[in-house]
Amino acid sequence: MTVTNSPTIISRQAWGANPLVTPAGAIATPTLDLWLHHTGGAGSGAGYMRSLQQGALRGGYVDLEYTLVVDNRDGAIYMSRGPGRNTAATGGSTGGVANNARSHAICAMGNFENETPTPALLDGIASCVLWLAAQRAIATPVITGPHTDAPGNATACCGRNLIAQIGAINQRAAGGGGGTAPAPAPDTGGGPLTAIASPQRGNPAGRTPTARPVPALGAILLENGAALSGDKPSGANRVWTSSDAAVQAAGNKLLDIAPTIGADGRPDGRGVVALFDLGNNQVGTYTLPWS
Ligand SMILES: [Zn+2]
């Protein structure tokens, strides 16, 4: 398959969706979070979509829970609730807002505790990511992490074998994007990220960071093996979350972390954190004690 921001998406009519009595409510976009799920069961194709929707309706949901669903057999992408709609996929809340109302959700058909994700599935999910970004439904073309990493969720979803591939999916998305270019990025004040890219020589984990353009931010996203106290990597190992109260208050979405360097050229025990501020839609920096 080709990773593209304009993939073929099988419409609700084409897969035989049940007409909706009450469509899912609208949410503010772009969202900063995009969580990855799996169905946890076996199935494929339009028939599986219909049975998933029937199960959701029987369970009291207004519709199939996710934004988009991708088939592990062939990477086919199915429209579920679509962008800009409240999901019923990711419990818990972040910053006092229900995760379902401040994120989108892609679901892979299968149980990836046992099954192996196909290359077609990975490409299909990557194309979903790019398409959602092109629709301005998500702020950055990356999967935030697996369902289990969403605050307040205790689950194995989206299964260990797929969780292990989230970094690869994000790389596919970063390398793809054929077709029409995404809409121009808003001015989000991306300057601070380039400003902190230089002190990487003090990275105590010794990993080499990789600069990447983040179109929706107009900024630089760095892979970084370093961590501040309480940090934990997402499945993507690129976007980090933090337990620090100051960071959480600003949106808990770290883009990069780096130790600061003292006058003697050595790490001074502090670190600079760059993050995307949910409240202000801006990139900001914080200086925190280093772990
Ligand atoms: Zn899930």
Ligand 1 geometric centre to CA of 120 (Å): 20
Q: Helices marked H in 88-157 — which ranges?
A: 119-134
267 pLDDT tier (thresholds 50, 70, 90): low
Least confident span in 61-70, 112-121, 281-290: 281-290
Ligand 1 geometric centre to CA of 199 (Å): 37
Ligand 1 geometric centre to CA of 86 (Å): 15
Q: Report the pLDDT value the prediction gives residue 265, as an integer from 0 to 100.
A: 61
Q: In what order do the strands lie in the sheet with 68-70?
A: 9-10, 77-79, 68-70, 103-108, 33-38, 145-146
Answer yes or no: do 31 and 169 share one domain: yes
End-to-end CA distance of the chain, in Å? 43
Q: Report the pLDDT value the prediction gives residue 284, as an integer from 0 to 100.
A: 52
Domain containing residue 114: 9-175
117 pLDDT tier (thresholds 50, 70, 90): very high
Ligand 1 geometric centre to CA of 27 (Å): 19
Ligand 1 geometric centre to CA of 288 (Å): 33
Ligand 1 geometric centre to CA of 256 (Å): 26
Answer yes or no: do 33 and 147 share one domain: yes
Q: Report the pLDDT value the prediction gives residue 23, as an integer from 0 to 100.
A: 86
Report the pLDDT averaged over residues 23-52.
94
Ligand 1 geometric centre to CA of 144 (Å): 13
Ligand 1 geometric centre to CA of 187 (Å): 33
Ligand 1 geometric centre to CA of 196 (Å): 35
pLDDT in tens, 178-209: 333 333 232 233 333 332 222 233 333 333 33
DSSP-assigned beta bridge partners for residue 97: 94
290 pLDDT tier (thresholds 50, 70, 90): very low
Ligand 1 geometric centre to CA of 214 (Å): 26
Answer yes or no: do 23 and 167 share one domain: yes
Ligand 1 geometric centre to CA of 106 (Å): 9
Q: Report the pLDDT value the prediction gives residue 54, as an integer from 0 to 100.
A: 95
- Taking the complete model, does pTM exceed 0.75, yes or no? no
Share of the chain above pLDDT 90, in %: 50
Answer yes or no: do 133 and 242 share one domain: no
Answer yes or no: do 32 and 150 share one domain: yes
Ligand 1 geometric centre to CA of 36 (Å): 7
Ligand 1 geometric centre to CA of 24 (Å): 18
pLDDT in tens, 228-264: 334 444 332 233 444 455 544 544 345 555 555 566 6
Answer yes or no: do 152 and 31 share one domain: yes
Angstrom CA distances, 102 to 4, 112, 162, 175, stand at 25, 25, 23, 26
100: domain CATH number?
Answer: 3.40.80.10
Ligand 1 geometric centre to CA of 129 (Å): 17
Answer yes or no: do 233 and 98 share one domain: no
Q: Report the pLDDT value the prediction gives residue 259, as an integer from 0 to 100.
A: 53
Least confident span in 15-29, 106-120, 144-158, 266-280: 266-280
Answer yes or no: do 110 and 197 share one domain: no
As a whole number, the mean pLDDT across the chain is 73
Q: Report the pLDDT value the prediction gives residue 114, as an integer from 0 to 100.
A: 95
Ligand 1 geometric centre to CA of 211 (Å): 30
Tell which residue, 59, 60, 76, 77, has the closest CA to residue 68.
77
Give the number of other CB atoms < 10 A from CB of residue 252: 21
| pLDDT value at 8 more than 70 | yes
| pLDDT value at 220 more than 60 | no
216 within some domain = yes
Ligand 1 geometric centre to CA of 251 (Å): 22
DSSP-assigned beta bridge partners for residue 257: 273
Ligand 1 geometric centre to CA of 152 (Å): 12
| pLDDT value at 269 more than 90 | no
Q: Report the pLDDT value the prediction gives residue 286, as an integer from 0 to 100.
A: 52
pLDDT in tens, 89-105: 999 998 788 999 999 99
| pLDDT value at 76 more than 80 | yes
108 and 158 in contact (C-beta within 8 Å)?
A: yes
